[in-house]
């Protein structure tokens, strides 16, 4: 299992989080990795669109995982291309990076 936060600059996207999640889910269902991704949440912020996705089959970050994550990011951009959405990157939770949607508790 790997929980990944995808970060997009939302530009002209005017949908709420629920509508955005439905469109992303529909788009991802058309791609060959259906069943290997589970959208956990979508957050629409002032300038960001953040999509939290679980990849239950991913055990480690390697080139195949990076290619999969880039494919997911590209699919979301294609879904919202008319809104000017741009993919800014991804963050793997639990790897010590910075999350835009929640702060991880420091390890004691």
Is 23 exposed, middle or buried, given 0-12, 13-18 or 19+ CB atoms closer than 10 A? middle
Instruction: Put the strands of the sheet holding 48-55 in their side by side order.
Output: 38-44, 48-55, 2-9, 86-92
pLDDT digits (tens, 9 = 90+) for 68-79: 899 999 999 999
Residues of the domain holding 80: 2-92
Assess if residue 103 is contained within a domain: no
Tell me the per-residue pLDDT of 22-51, one tens digit each, with 9 for 90 and over: 999 999 998 886 557 899 999 999 999 999
What is the percent of the chain with per-residue pLDDT over 70, rounded to a whole number? 84
The CA–CA distances, whole Å, from 41 to 21, 57, 58, 62, 63 equal: 7, 18, 18, 24, 25
Q: Is residue 68 part of a domain?
A: yes
pTM score: 0.86
Give me the CATH number covering residue 54: 3.30.70.2740
108 found inside a domain:
no
Number of domains in the chain: 1
Query: Comparing 85 with 104, which gets the higher pLDDT?
Result: 85
Q: How far apart are CA 32 and CA 47, in angstroms?
A: 30
């Amino acid at each position: 299992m790997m929980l990944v936060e995808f970060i997009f600059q939302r530009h002209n996207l005017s949908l709420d989080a629920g509508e955005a999640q439905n469109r992303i889910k529909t788009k991802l269902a058309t791609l060959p990795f259906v069943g290997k991704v589970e959208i956990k949440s979508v957050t629409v912020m002032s300038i960001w669109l953040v999509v939290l996705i679980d990849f239950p089959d991913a055990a480690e970050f390697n080139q195949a995982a990076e290619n999969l994550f880039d494919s997911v990011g590209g699919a979301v951009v294609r879904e919202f291309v008319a809104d000017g959405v741009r993919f800014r990157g991804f963050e793997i939770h639990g790897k010590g990076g910075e999350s835009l949607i929640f702060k991880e508790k420091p390890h004691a």
